[in-house]
Amino acid sequence: MKSIEKYQKQLLEQTQSLYRDTPISEATEQAYFATPRHRFVRRYREWGTKEWQVVEPESLAEHIATLYADRPLILFGEDDQNISSTVSQPSLVLRMLDLLQLKAGNKVFELGAGSGWNAALMGRLVGPEGKVVSLEIIAELARSARENIVSLGITNVDIVSGDGAEGYQDSAPYDRAIFTAGTFDLPHYFYEQLREGGLLLVVIKTEGGKDNLFLRKIGDHFESLWSGPCGFVQLRGAYQFKDLEPNILEEAIPGWSEVQSKEIDKRRFWWGGKAKEGLLWTTLGIRSFLGITEPGFRAFKTAKLNDDSSEDHYFGLWDAANGSLVVAKDDWLFTYGNTKAQERLLRRLHHWIEVGMPTAACLNLKVFPIGAKVRAGKNQWLVKRRDSQFLWSLQP
């Protein structure tokens, strides 16, 4: 079908324009043309719609423009604000493949097979002497991804049904690893299963935002080589942290009914924008910074009244020791209990401005096993999770 080639070329041209300073490599281009995206999407849904689209050979022409548009598509999940799996934005997929610096003969681990498209692309890049092992926690998707891989005659990619957060010891060690879902922690398995000098592309989530981080294993830890803002669904399974995602305020703050009755201050605060629709964008930088530097930071969301209603997101600081809460919502700052939390928020805001208004993507990162002895110095912040500790530093 000539129109398929036309759409493939258009998408690649858009991608090259988007990354004009770091052009997509010729090897990745070749893998892209040899591995058509439409062969991996049999059923999808777009954000803001409830209807699932089924792609059949006879109806392919109706879907081809959507399948080669530069945007992600939902593969699994009925709720737009709690998606389980997507096929990622194509331009970002190709950029991430280049970041991994895949070479012939590499052994690659992937967390989150999804449609199988990314695994298939990596299979092309590592060649017949290389190997890709991709784990998918949703059994239905694992089965479909496996069938997609087989249909193209790709034999060096294994799709395994299971929790990818535990890695896959049977094929370790790996030269490269990639997470196609975001994570608040780095499971300890990856210190053991990635070779010395190996590369890990992972989306490290914080309460304030998320970033795409490219790490190299050096001795007993990982160090960042590159980072950039992106948005990925959180992984499912043993390393899913629901308490670190936005929560309903009434449920997140102990004794909220009593706290709510002690409102002591309400003042206008616009964060450089106006109205709740723009709050997530205008506060992206400060939320990202607070999510790393401020233990009391909390991300909140409103409760959904029905299936058709949406969630509004906002944030605040909770000082449990002093019973103090400040909430930034709808162009207002609300303060409860006493002014301790408000004062902390304003100090952090001033500090953020003084150091150049960085987001997590502007910081260097070192990731250590939880048992390692690590101390934070000036303009460094240590965030501890279950298996790993994250040392964020301002770049010199």
Catalytically annotated residues: 88
Nearest to 187 by CA among 136, 145, 177: 177
Nearest to 75 by CA among 154, 155, 144: 144
Q: Do 105 and 126 form a contact (C-beta atoms < 8 A)? A: yes
Q: Give the integer Cα–Cα distance in Å for 123 and 335.
A: 54
Nearest to 142 by CA among 112, 107, 181: 112
Q: Give the integer Cα–Cα distance in Å for 2 and 17.
A: 23
Q: How far is CA 242 from CA 68, 82, 317, 369, in A?
A: 33, 11, 18, 22
Burial 186-222 (b: 16+ CB within 10 A, else e): bbbbbbebbeeebbbbbbbbbbbbbbbbbbbbeeebb
Q: Do 60 and 41 form a contact (C-beta atoms < 8 A)? A: no
Q: Give the integer Cα–Cα distance in Å for 123 and 32.
A: 11
Cβ contacts of residue 143 below 8 Å, gap of 6+? 161
Q: Which long-range contacts (CB under 8 A, 24 or more apart) does 23-31 make?
A: 24/94, 24/95, 24/98, 25/98, 27/125, 28/94, 28/97, 28/98, 28/121, 28/125, 30/124, 31/97, 31/121, 31/124, 31/125
Nearest to 123 by CA among 145, 143, 140: 145
Nearest to 95 by CA among 133, 76, 121: 121
Amino acid at 69: A
User: β-strands 297-301, 247-248: how paired?
Assistant: parallel
Handedness of CA 287, 293, 298, 299 (dihedral sign): positive
| Residue 37 zone, left/alpha/beta (φ > 0; ψ -120 to 50; rest) | alpha
